[in-house]
Amino acid sequence: MTTEKKRYYEPAPQGIDVENFKKVVTSRRSVRKFTEKPIPSDILDQCLDLALLAPNSSNLQPWTFYVVQNPEKKQKIVKACLNQWAARTAAELIVCVARTDRINEMAKLNIQEFPFPEIPPLVKKYYTYIPLNYKTGYLNAIGNFKKVTFKVARTFDKQMPVTAFTPADAKLWAAKTTALACENLVLALRAYGFDSCMMEGFDEPLVCKTLGLNTKEFPIMVIGAGERAEDGVFFPQYRFDRDLFIQKV
C-alpha cells in the first residue's frame, strides 16, 4: 500500500475586483511632470515590495532598485536623464538595474531559504547546477561549449531550454526579468494614487558611475515617480489595431 505524497496547495483568491484592476492598468500613463507632493515612505516601500513579487526565472531575482534620495546623486541622475521634466520634477527617482553578478549567490539563497524544513534532493540539485545556465566563462569558453552541445542535441530531436551562449544572452535574460518587476512597480504606484514615467533615454555611463555599478550591473530604466501634475500628461494615449500584435494560431 502506497500513501499519496502530500503536496503544497495554495488556492487561487476569489472576488478580485476586475474593474478596479482595469482602472489601474488603463489609467497608468507616462507622466512627464509631477507636483511637489512627496510619496510617503511607507507607500513607496509597499510599492517596491510589490515590485519584488514579479515573476522571475528560477526565483533568481536578478535585480536591484536604487532609490536615489541623496541630493547630489539625485541631481546627477537628473542630468543623466537629459534634464527632462519627468526626472526634474519627480518626487522619487528609482534606477532599475538588471544583474548577472549574483546568480551563484541567489541560487545558494534558494537552497538556504527553501520554505520547507527539508529541501527535496531534486530541488537542491537544480539550484546547484542552474548557475551554469547563465555562465559563459572566460573568453566565452563555457558559452561555446554549450552552443555545440545544444546543436548536437537538437539533431536528435532533443528539446533544449533557453540558455546563455554569450554574455549578451545573460544580460538579456536579466533585463527581461527586471522589466517585469518594473511593470509591477509602476502599477503599484498607480494603485496608491501616484504616477510614474519609465525613462530609457539616459546616459548609462553617468548612471553607472553615480551609483558605483560594476560591469555586470545594467541599468535598464530610470523610473520617475510622484503625484501627477495637472498638465503632467502631454498627449492622449492611443494604440494601433490589435490585429497587428495578437495572433491566435
Where in the sequence is the domain holding 140, given as residue range(s)?
105-155
In this structure, what C-alpha cell is assigned to residue 133?
Answer: 545556465
In this structure, what C-alpha cell is assigned to residue 178?
Answer: 527586471
Question: Is 146 a domain residue?
Answer: yes
Q: What span, in angstroms and rounded, lies between the C-alpha atoms of 58 and 177?
A: 11
What pLDDT score does 155 carry?
A: 85
Question: Is 232 a domain residue?
Answer: no
Closest CA to 219 of 102, 95, 100: 95
In this structure, what C-alpha cell is assigned to residue 124?
Answer: 537542491
- Region of residue 218 (left: phi > 0; alpha: psi -120 to 50; beta: else): beta
- Please answer whether residues 179 and 26 qualify as being in contact, where contact means their C-beta atoms are separated by less than 8 angstroms: no
Q: What span, in angstroms and rounded, lies between the C-alpha atoms of 77 and 34?
A: 17
E strand or H helix that includes residue 136: none
Question: Is 142 a domain residue?
Answer: yes
Question: Is 128 a domain residue?
Answer: yes
SS3 content of the chain, % helix, strand, coil (to 5): 45, 15, 40
Question: Is 32 a domain residue?
Answer: no
What pLDDT score does 210 carry?
A: 98
Question: Is 230 a domain residue?
Answer: no
Q: What span, in angstroms and rounded, lies between the C-alpha atoms of 36 and 29?
A: 18
Amino acid at the residue 141: A
Question: Is 95 a domain residue?
Answer: no
- Please answer whether residues 196 and 225 qualify as being in contact, where contact means their C-beta atoms are separated by less than 8 angstroms: yes
- Please answer whether residues 107 and 60 qualify as being in contact, where contact means their C-beta atoms are separated by less than 8 angstroms: yes
Overall number of domains in the chain: 1
Neighbours of 51 (CB within 10 A): 24
Q: What span, in angstroms and rounded, lies between the C-alpha atoms of 178 and 168?
A: 15
Q: Which residues contact 172 (CB under 8 A, 6 or more apart)?
A: none
What pLDDT score does 158 carry?
A: 83
Q: What span, in angstroms and rounded, lies between the C-alpha atoms of 73 and 56?
A: 29
Question: Is 144 a domain residue?
Answer: yes
**Edge-first strand listing for the sheet containing 92-99:** 63-68, 92-99, 217-226, 195-199
Kindly give the parts of the chain with pLDDT less than 50. Answer: none
